[in-house]
Structure 1
Amino acid sequence: MKGKEWYQADDVAEEYEAKRFSRGGRLIDRREKQAVLDAVGPVEDRNVLEIACGTGRFTVMLAERGADIVGLDISEAMLAQGRQKARKAGVADNVEFMRGDAARLPFPDDHFDAVVSMRFYHLAPTPAKFMAEMARVSKEQVFFDTFNGFSTRVLYNRLLPMGSHLYSRDEVAELLDGAGLSLENAEHDFILPYGFYRQIPDSLAVRIRKLDTAIGSTGVGEKLCSVSYWNAQVE
């Protein structure tokens, strides 16, 4: 099953985090959450939108830190998992989970202080449209990640159940420019693709990660990184 149908299946939502964030995937979860926190900064009393929030990993994390946050996703099964997670964390009053289309956001212009989207753009069929909508509803900031075409991810990309769009840095620059966004800063990470880390125990993943980070910090390594985090400002 491909695309939207695959993503919205109930069994996918139930198994999503167990498959992706167990074993070495816990390392990825920690890194992604830190990337969001580093970019968005203090969120207390900030109005935040997360697009493609899935099971609410980042939505709940930001709510726990004081954000008033909306999590939007196309999958009702994923949203149900997010609501349960918010209740368990005691932040249900700070979070609203909505089913919706990221290409037609149901919010007025400049409605949010920041818009965040993780693990989304590799699936976006019309990335320019989605980026324009994110920029439209944000007063200040847009933060997102991409998987990169000139990286080890190409080795297994075709095997993924939903497929995956890999971006060049020039493509990202065009998306930002077209949406009226200016790049504040970017981080490029993970020489080895996520799929590798998910197959090994967390303790081993941590040791390999040290080597991965050392290589990635070099000029050549940075160009080979499979993941980029982009922090943009609304012009």
Structure 2
Amino acid sequence: MDLRGMAQDARRLGAGLGAKATSSVSASPLAGVLERHGLPDAPAASEWELSIGSLVAGAGRVNPVARQALDLLDRFGRVAVGPAFVGLDNEDIPWTAVTGLRAATVAQVLTESALDREMDRLRVVLPPVPGRRWVLGRVGDVVGSLLDWVLSDEGRLGAEIVTAVDHKKRLGRATTSTVGFFGVLLLTALPDVNRSIWSTAAARGATVPPARAPSSDAAPLRAEAGDRRAALERRLTGLFTEP
């Protein structure tokens, strides 16, 4: 994948920053998308959602042959929050069922193994259908742009984000739904969304982990960000150019 092209995509997608977008995301590849989607309140006062599929659909003209394949990604890599539920991928979890949140730093979850697991899921969701190659290429562009931007600031690696939601199913069975690699990218690029989930959970009485102060020593994170960026970009190049 051409990283220069990723950067150009990031600038193009960021050209239409809306008034509701905060300065923290003004230079991100998601800036233009926020003109249409805005950002959720904290706690959430209305429903908000975004997915990798919707980012691809909103990034430019969709190849007509690929429309069916793209529709299969409607909820893939989805993050949603509202006053009644929190959404991860195709699952909407009522706040009344949520018992707690789990959190980790971006450095702990934005890994090559996490990317590989996400690609395994993507292959299941997106079988060999007409337009699959086109969609994979566009997903690679969007994810590459996001990754390039997220890891351009080492401070983001130390940020804490929601990584899982503990909740109860029918008959009170406890279960945990995790945030995938693409969801992690969205929450890192849009800290207001992470904050909304955190705040809404606390307001609804769920157990929320205490926020930890970020490390004041940026040097280790700076070195790690460079290494992580190079490793993940190498993986992206291979994963999104497969037949």
Output the TM-score relative to the length of structure 1.
0.29
Q: Considering fraction of residues, name the structure with more helix.
A: 2
Q: Which has the higher contact order (CA 8 A, sep 6+)?
A: 2
